[in-house]
């Protein structure tokens, strides 16, 4: 059996202390096809669906400065809308369904470390302490 590039992970296990969205869901730009005047929305190579990005903060108190902030990419046909949850200032608790992780090496001068790239299929309901419940609809059209 071959090891998949992207590893399916459980949101509640990866983000056991919760995850907080900062900002809005944004289209991911295709850096090879975009120009300064003409941005092009990136699409997933496997599905052909648009890729959206969400900036987030890991609530794990043990997270280091370099691992606390992250982006989650969402592959969905329409712009995903986060589930209703009370915002705490600029932070909004979120959970994701269909979460996968891709490890890669981040090289910075003489220092290298393993980092994770996260992808999801949509937002899930936020449960207690970072747990997520299965959701019926993962994406809704933005108004």
Asked if residue 140 is part of any domain, the answer here is no
Question: 136 falls in which pLDDT band (50, 70, 90)?
Answer: very low
* 2 is a domain residue: no
- Report if residue 136 sits inside a domain: no
Does residue 66 lie within any of the structural domains? yes
User: How many domains are contained in the chain?
Assistant: 1
pLDDT of residue 118 exceeding 50: yes
Does some domain include residue 46? yes
Q: Is the residue at 138 inside a domain?
A: no
Q: Which of 71, 59, 90, 93 shows the shortest CA–CA distance to 26?
A: 71
Tokens (6 digits) for 95: 């959970």
Residue 137 lies in a domain: no
**Band of residue 51 on the pLDDT scale cut at 50, 70, 90:** very high
Q: Would 52 be classed as within a structural domain? A: yes
pLDDT number for residue 87: 85
| pLDDT, average across residues 12-36 | 95
Local structure of 138: helix, strand or coil? coil
Q: Note down the domain range covering 38.
A: 7-127
**pLDDT exceeds 70 at position 143:** no
Report residue 9's pLDDT band, with 50, 70 and 90 as the boundaries.
very high
């Amino acid at each position: 059996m071959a090891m998949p590039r992207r590893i399916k992970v459980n949101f509640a296990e990866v983000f056991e202390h919760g995850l907080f969205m900062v900002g809005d869901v944004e289209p991911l730009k295709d850096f090879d096809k975009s120009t300064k005047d003409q941005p092009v929305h990136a699409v997933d190579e496997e599905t052909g669906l648009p890729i959206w990005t969400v900036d987030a903060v890991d609530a794990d108190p043990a997270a280091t400065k370099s691992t606390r902030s992250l982006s989650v990419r969402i592959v969905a046909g329409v712009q995903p809308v986060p589930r209703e949850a009370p915002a705490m200032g600029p932070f909004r608790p979120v959970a994701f369904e269909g979460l996968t992780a891709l490890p890669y090496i981040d090289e910075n001068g003489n220092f290298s470390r393993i980092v994770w790239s996260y992808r999801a299929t949509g937002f899930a309901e936020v449960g207690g302490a970072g747990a997520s419940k299965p959701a019926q609809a993962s994406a809704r059209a933005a108004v």
